[in-house]
Amino acid sequence: MTDRSAPSASRREFVGGLALGLGGLVASATMAGAQSPDIPNAPTGRPQPELETTPPGPADQRLGWAVIGLGDFAQGYVLPALARARASRVAGLVSGNEDKLRAVGSQYGVPEAARFSYDRMGDMRDEAAIDVAYVVTPNSTHAELVVKAFEAGKHVMCEKPMATSSADCQRMIDAARAADRKLMVAYRAHFEPSNVKLKEMLDAGELGDVLFANSDHHRPLEPSLPRDQWRMKKVLAGGGSLVDIGIYSLNGLIWFLGELPNRVSATIVQPPGDARFAEVEDIAAAQLEFPSGKRIHISSGYQANKKRIDLFGSKATAVLDPATAYGGNRLRVTQPEGTLEVLVETPSAEQFTREIDHLSHAIREGGEVLTPGEMGLRDLRLIEAIYRSAEIGQPVDLAPDMTMKG
């Protein structure tokens, strides 16, 4: 099963032109009577091609983004994505490290006036070139920084998990409403091409009825890396593997199934004697039940290496493996006649530019975002219920708003 679009006519014509060779092109131009005043018998210029992707707009027509936090993920993925974006551009930076501000600011052409320390974030209000703030910092800092960005009059993209408590999520939503600004949570898988294709197939009924799904997200936690050191501190991370990568399993399966659970049962594991897990869990496993009778199972961990989603339908089974990597995600579908890979033309890395430009377009056009703050609040309530179930060793019933019953 493939999903390849046929090449555009302009591409076919271009390939055909190459096959003729330069001599053939010159001959064709000469036969048509085309002449150049400088080069005898030179071919005329080709017409404007039909581009497969929209090129970036002029700088003054792209919304300006300030990246808050200049760690590994921000510098490795967020800032390069902004540099490639079509409706967005880098316009500001926030960091507590002057060396980072200077180096990254020079790299991306951010003027000194648009480089801020955390205690000067309020000054962003006077920087008209900044429209959006993207918070890419440890989880426990999200709420405070998001509120500051709203107070400075900016729209906000916030990394997941949205916060370390549902109360902080609600505070962020309230701040967005008070500022009349948009709040989006960076659930990038909603813009990843293979994930989007699977969602389309589900909605079209190509898998039939899906009554069970499974997702496992695991990665090694490495204490020697600065990006992992804060993840071992509960006060900064809010939890262990569940909030870090297990949230991809949780959010992704609910998105695919289009239904909210009403009960959760969970366990967590903190291996004794391992300093990495003195404060946070290594493994989290949970089963969620839905009013329709659907069941999903999710797991997360900090020692193996896996990012996989399985959907079991009455017509077909779909597997994303890897499902939520930064690149190279693959979708395979198994039907009675066999297993085939579903190919998508767009690279997985486009997920970053797509989610960034999605918010910029929503701001420009006044539309709603696909992954709003309310989704982040819902997921934090579910995470709290998962931890609660593991703590008491019993299932936890959920109210329609995802708060715990009883």
List, by residue number, the catalytic residues.
Answer: 160, 248
For 55-93, b/e burial (b = at least 16 CB within 10 A) is ebeeeeebbbbbbbbbbeebbebbbbbbebbbbbbbbbb
For 12, residues 6+ apart whose C-beta sits below 8 A from its C-beta are none
Contact, 197 vs 171, CB < 8 A? Answer: no
C-beta separation of 89 from 59 below 8 A: yes
E strands, 106-209, are 115-116, 132-135, 155-158, 183-185
Residues in the chain, overall count: 406
- Report residue 181 CA to chain centroid gap: 20
What are the b/e assignments for 127-155, b being 16+ CB within 10 Å?
A: bebbbbbbbbbbbbbbbbbbbbbbebbbb
Q: How many Cβ atoms sit within 10 Å of the Cβ of residue 382?
A: 25
Cβ 309 vs Cβ 287: under 8 Å: no
Q: How many Cβ atoms are within 10 Å of 319's Cβ, its own excluded?
A: 19
301: phi then psi, degrees, rounded to nearest 5: -165, 165
264, containing H or E segment: strand 263-269
d(CA 249, CA 216): 6
DSSP states of 360-377: HHHHHHT---SSBHHHHH
**In the beta sheet, which residues pair with residue 215?**
298, 309
**Beta strand 183-185 with 210-218: parallel, antiparallel or unpaired?**
unpaired
